[in-house]
Chain A
Amino acid sequence: MLETDIIKNTDTIELKLFGEVEIKNGDTKIKGRNHWVGQGLGSLSAFIGSTSGASVYTATSTWYILLGMDTVTPTNVTMTGLVKPISTQPNAKYVYGFYYSGSISAVLVRYESQWYTGTVSGTIGELGLYLTFSNGGVGMASRLSVADNSFTAFTVDTSSVLDVLWNINLVYA
């Protein structure tokens, strides 16, 4: 985790949602902050604005992380998917969720995906976190991109596992 300053946040006027991504592949170790696209923001607000009883789909119902090769296209609000996705799905994925209750409150969700040795190759310039929207659709909610200066592109070391940990945090601002 980068700078999730949960403990020091005592002003409860605003809630803040942010994501931090860690990439490990052999000698490559990268940390960066994601950028939220419009449909990620919109789905969260749709949940807050929903009157439905027990029928609102939630973000983690279906989720996955994709890798991509684009290095020149900055993230924008209307983006709905990676620019040059690598279609190879991870070999393993895990999700963990935590509530911090009591005097300090926060919600943390950890999405982790692993591509085993030799299953992906080439230059990695973008990553996308795909979540389920409140209407049941699945799409990209957030993106980590070289073009946003969030990290430096790297060539996959095909002799090592590639591991991506996407940390989503909802905390007091």
Chain B
Amino acid sequence: MEEYNIEKAYVGDFIGIRGTVKIENGEHIVIGKNHWVGQGLETIGSYLITNGSLYGALYSWGMYIGSDTSTTTTVSMTSLISPIGTAPGTAPNTKSFSAAYYSTSTIPIVITYIASWNAGTVSGTLGEAGLYVYINFGNVTNGTTASQPGLASRLSAADGSFTAFTINTSVALTVTWTVSLVYA
């Protein structure tokens, strides 16, 4: 997985928000960079734009996988193309998240989401994965206008982010999604 050296973080003009994804399934270990869809950008932006309070992005978050290998990610995309299981997809058997903190303070700048599917619970071709968070659309005069969980970011074979593979159903499948906020 690409590493962002938080020790070298410095005050800069920009804050970059990046996501890298690691998929582990037996001998298959895949690593790639995510693509943010529009409602992912907008829900992060809702924190800035809203006067009031909102649902946290991790409120009712999820992760799903799909079999599409030909559809590139677009800004207007709101779900996986061909989810494995009934839409939005087969939920993982376990999921967790954690935050890493900037070394000299209590600033969390790396958030890690982990989802695991037990052996035999998902099958077929894995060509896409999606991080779902709680989508907010607040505004400057009215807070707490949350909607529902939705696709924020996608990892796709069609984007060239990784090579699709057939799921090994005899072992667990684990997806680790790391979102980093760094000075850029």
Contacts and interface: CB of A to CB of B under 8 A. Distances in A.
Given A41-B109, A49-B58, A54-B146, A35 B102 contact: no
Interface string A56-80: 1111110000000000000111100
Interface residues of A, number: 58
Contacts, number: 209
B12 A56 contact: no
Contact of A56 (B37, B53, B108): B53
Interface in B87-101: 97, 99
Interface of B: 9-18, 33-39, 41-42, 44-59, 61, 73-76, 97, 99, 102, 104-109, 111, 133, 137-140, 143-144, 146, 179, 181, 183-184
B108 A49 contact: yes
Interface in A62-113: 75-78, 95-99, 101-107, 109
Nearest to A171: B41
A38 B49 contact: no
Given A16-B17, A41-B181, A107 B49 contact: yes
B139 A12 contact: no
Contacts of B184: 16, 173
15 contacts: A15-B18, A34-B13, A38-B107, A41-B15, A45-B111, A47-B56, A54-B53, A59-B49, A61-B50, A61-B53, A77-B102, A103-B76, A107-B44, A107-B45, A109-B45
Given A41-B109, A102-B38, A48 B16 contact: no
